[in-house]
A and B are shown apart, each in its own frame.
Chain A
Amino acid sequence: MPSKNNLREAIRLRRMADAVPPAMDAREAALAAHERDKTLTKHHFEPSEHPCVRIEHLMKTFDGETQVLTDVNLTVWPGEVVCVLGPSGSGKSTMLRCINLLETPTAGHILIEDNEITGHLLAADVNKLRQNLGMVFQSFNLFPHLTAKGNVMIGQTKVLKKSKEEAEREALKQLDAVGLLDRADFKPAQLSGGQQQRVAIARAVAMHPDILLFDEPTSALDPELVRGVLDVMRDLAENGGMTMIVVTHEMGFAREVADRVVFMEGGVVVEQGKPEDVFDHPQNERTAQFLGSIN
Chain B
Amino acid sequence: MGHTDRRRQRGLLVTLCAVVCAFVMLAPSTAWGLTTSKATARPNEEGGSSVIGGLPTRLTWEGTVDDGEEVTAVTLRLPEGGSFDGASTKVTVLQGLTRSELATEVAPEGPQLKVTFVDPATQGLLLRLEVEGMKFPAKGGDVVVEGTYVNQDGEKPLAASKPIATIANTPLQSLLASLDANPVVKAWNSSQFLGMFFKPQLLVTAFATLVPGWFLCLVIVLVAYPIAILLGLVFALMKISRHRVLRAIAIVYINILRGTPLFLQIYIMFFGLPMMNINIDNNVLGVIVIAINASAYLAEIFRAGIESIPPGQYEAAASLGMGHMMTMLNIILPQTVRRVMPTVTSDFITSYKDTSLLSSVGVMELMMFAKNLTSVSGNMTPYVAAAIFYLIVTLPLIKVVTTVEKRMAKSERGGGARPKVKAKDVAAAEAEQDDIALGGVVDAQ
Residues of A bordering B, CB below 8 Å: 1, 3-5, 100, 102, 123-124, 127-131, 133-135, 137, 139, 141-145, 154-155, 158-159, 179, 181-183, 185-187, 189-190, 200, 203-204, 207, 223-228, 230, 250-253, 255-256, 295
Q: What separation, in Å, do the CA atoms of A290 and B326 have in the docked complex?
A: 43
B334–A1 CB distance below 8 A: no
Which 9 residue pairs spanning A and B have beta carbons closest together?
A252-B443, A182-B425, A155-B320, A131-B321, A141-B316, A135-B319, A141-B312, A185-B419, A252-B442
Q: What separation, in Å, do the CA atoms of A129 and B312 have in the docked complex?
A: 19
Say how far B310's CB is from chain A's closest CB, in angstroms. Answer: 8
Chain B residue with minimal CB distance to A127?
B321
Q: What separation, in Å, do the CA atoms of A230 and B439 have in the docked complex?
A: 12
Given contacts A145-B334, A227-B441, A255-B445, contact A102 B319 (CB under 8 A): yes
Complex partner residue of A227 from B321, B335, B439, CB under 8 angstroms? B439
Given contacts A123-B323, A154-B330, A190-B418, contact A102 B318 (CB under 8 A): yes
B436–A227 CB distance below 8 A: yes
For residue B416, which residues in chain A have a CB less than 8 angstroms away from its CB? 189-190
Q: What separation, in Å, do the CA atoms of A250 and B443 have in the docked complex?
A: 7
A190–B414 CB distance below 8 A: yes
In the complex, identify which listed stretch (B21-29, B164-172, B353-361, B426-434) lies at the interface while the others stay far away.
B426-434
Does B31 belong to the interface (CB within 8 Å)?
Answer: no
For residue B330, which residues in chain A have a CB less than 8 angstroms away from its CB? 154, 158
Residues of B bordering A, CB below 8 Å: 242, 310, 312-324, 326-327, 330-331, 334-335, 338, 411-414, 416, 418-419, 421-422, 425-426, 428-429, 432, 436-437, 439-445
A128–B321 CB distance below 8 A: yes
Say how far A106's CB is from chain B's closest CB, in angstroms. Answer: 19
Interface of A is mostly: helix
Say how far B321's CB is from chain A's closest CB, in angstroms. Answer: 4
Q: What separation, in Å, do the CA atoms of A128 and B322 have in the docked complex?
A: 9
Complex partner residue of B441 from A130, A187, A223, CB under 8 angstroms? A223
B442–A230 CB distance below 8 A: yes
Q: What separation, in Å, do the CA atoms of A186 and B320 have in the docked complex?
A: 21
A226–B324 CB distance below 8 A: no
For residue B440, which residues in chain A have a CB less than 8 angstroms away from its CB? 227
Complex partner residue of A252 from B326, B327, B441, CB under 8 angstroms? B441
B414–A189 CB distance below 8 A: yes
A130–B439 CB distance below 8 A: no
